[in-house]
Structure 1
Amino acid sequence: MSGKANISESLAKGLAILDLFGVEDAGFTLSEIAARVGISKTSAHRYVTTYCEQDYLARDPRSGLYRLGVRTLALAQSMIETSELVRGLRPFVDEAAARHGIHIDVALLSRDAVYLVYRRDSADTRVFRSFSYASSLHYLAAGKAAMAFMEPRALAGIMSRLQLTAKTDRTITDKAVLEAELAEARELGYAKNNEESLPGLIAIGAPLFSLRTGEVVGAVSFDSSTATYSMQELERLFAGYLVELAKKISAVVSL
């Protein structure tokens, strides 16, 4: 029996609904949920009603928007507190954040997306809505860092599926330009996000590798507001520290 035959399509659709809420916290209407997941409104209603009854989602009675419920938030907190992976990387990230006063994100790669597994905010980035997961890698320093260091066949596959949607007026929307930037990232050892995900937010990201297979498994990024550092200052002051931190975290994610 193939792996496909063993997959629960109903469960996969239900999980796809929860995935929506990792990208935006503004909430979704029932129609938006149905359209984004590719199911009927009737099916979407059954899913979200079940989630609401179990407190994984909550519906705002005034706006009708669905948002993450307390049970989902509790699961996220539990993951942060008990995950062996997070316990391993946390000391390195916390020490770097305390030493440099910089915002740090650690994200792992899964298929065509990166998922945040640990974050340390800084005073100047708390006003920004930072990512918790991104299914398009081209507008994040972490995403571009992961792409730049993939083996060629894997990168070609992602590039063929990637929709270069603009998040800001600085987001790269031309594949040739993106390929040139990924080539530059390979030379530098890190990738850049110059206000491509949010206006006023810049970042540099370095890849995380599995020490067993040599494959890229994620990325770590240093983020700043443009009010604190320019991109040139961020690179000059922190690129070396970022690359060293990536090496330490790679050892942890390889365990």
Structure 2
Amino acid sequence: MTAEPRMLDTSPAPSMGASEKTLRVLEAATQHSRFTDIVEETGLAKATVHRILATLVEQGFVSGDSERGYQPGARFLSIAGSAISRLDISSIAEPIVDELVREVDCTVHVGVENGAEMVYVIRRDSSKPYRMGSRVGLSIPMHCSGMGKAVLAAWSPEQVDRLIDQVGLPARTENTITDPARLHEELARVRERGYSLDLGENERGTVCVSAPISDHLGRVRYGLSISSIALEHPGSSIEAFAPQAIAAADAISRALGAPVAR
């Protein structure tokens, strides 16, 4: 017996469910305090937003009212704090880093700011026969490393000057920037183009292109670098990988909960 032919479902797509509406309002209330802005952000009817906000306030996920404005409530902040405390950039970034290594076939690092230095937290090697001298846990100066300059570019000039006063700009190679004025000029270029370069400044014969990674508060605390040897990528040719470095760093930032630019 042949089966009845299945009819094409031409019914309209289901409308937004109650759960999705609630999540939209909750998200909007964490970003906007004014009721009218929350309504605009969600695209829902005023009566619907008002009803959902009342429930969220009652349950402690949101606090405030339409006159005083809304903000995240104690219950929401408790959940957010627990989630943030469990964040591990290594486990979050590893899949993105592994995909980047397959794409560019270079060594990829992720590092975190630690005072005046960057500390490697991830290193993934390429298929090439050579190996970089880096290792997880190794600290490197900020002023002469690609990752460090990517982080320093987010600092104010005054913060950079305080760092220089504290630790100086020691030369690691003949290419290290040791003049404060030159470092400020370099950081201005990093801010303008969105990535930094290390062309033998930290270690002779090695080059890298780096991009900044932001945390859940939008602070640039991490950096990602695509690294190689100068023999394979002479001059500034490693710069060709800048788009891939930026894309991967942005993906990690989003995975860490960094605010999305609007």
- Is the structural similarity TM-score above 0.5? yes
Moved more, 124-133 or 86-95: 124-133
Count of residue pairs the alignment pairs up: 172
Equivalent-residue separation in structure 1 for 2:128 and 2:229 (angstroms): 6
Matching residue of 2:249: 246
Structure 2: which 5+ residue stretches go unaligned?
Answer: 1-86
Residue 219 of structure 1: aligned partner: 223
Sort the Cα spacing of 1:151 and 1:164 in 2 relative to 1 into closer, same or farther, 3 A. Answer: closer
How far residue 125 of structure 1 moved from its aligned partner, in angstroms, is: 7.8
Query: Do structure 1's residue 182 and structure 2's residue 182 form an aligned pair?
Result: no
Give the structure, 1 or 2, with the largest relative contact order (CA under 8 Å, sep 6 or more): 1
> Secondary structure of the equivalent of 1:130?
coil
Seq. identity, %: 27
Partner of residue 115, structure 2: 111
When the two structures are superposed, what TM-score results if normalisation uses the length of structure 2? 0.60
Shift of 1:135: 5.3
Distance 1:139 1:168 in 2: 9
Kindly provide the amino acid, as one letter, of the partner of residue 118 in structure 2.
V
For 2:243, give the aligned amino acid.
G
Distance 1:180 1:126 in 2: 33
Pair 104,179 (structure 1): closer, same or farther in 2 beyond 3 Å: same
Alignment of structure 1 residues 96-175 onto 2, 5 Å: 96-124=100-128, 126-130=130-134, 132-134=137-139, 136-175=141-180
Where in structure 1 do 4 or more consecutive aligned residues deviate above 6 Å? none
Distance 1:164 1:153, change over 3 A: closer
Code of the residue aligned with 1:235 in structure 2: it is E
Deviates more, 1:227-236 or 1:100-109: 227-236
Query: What's the secondary structure of 2:178's corresponding residue?
Result: coil
Aligned partners of 1:229 and 1:180: how far apart in 2? 24
Secondary structure at 1:167's aligned position in 2?
coil
Shift of 1:152: 4.2
Residues of 2 paired with 1:168 and 1:251: CA distance?
Answer: 35
Matches of residues 60-75 of structure 1 in structure 2 within 5 Å? none
Once residues 236 and 203 of structure 2 are traced to their aligned partners in structure 1, the CA distance between those partners, rounded to angstroms, is 18
**1: CA distance between counterparts of 2:168 and 2:129?**
27
**Which 10-residue stretch deviates more, 147-156 or 193-202?**
147-156
Larger radius of gyration: 2
Counterpart Cα distance in 2 of 1:104 and 1:148: 20
Q: What is the TM-score with the length of structure 1 in the denominator?
A: 0.61
Matches of residues 27-38 of structure 1 in structure 2 within 5 Å?
none
Report how far residue 251 of structure 1 moved. Answer: 2.2
Unaligned runs of 5+ in 1: 1-82
Question: Aligned partner of 1:225: which letter?
Answer: I
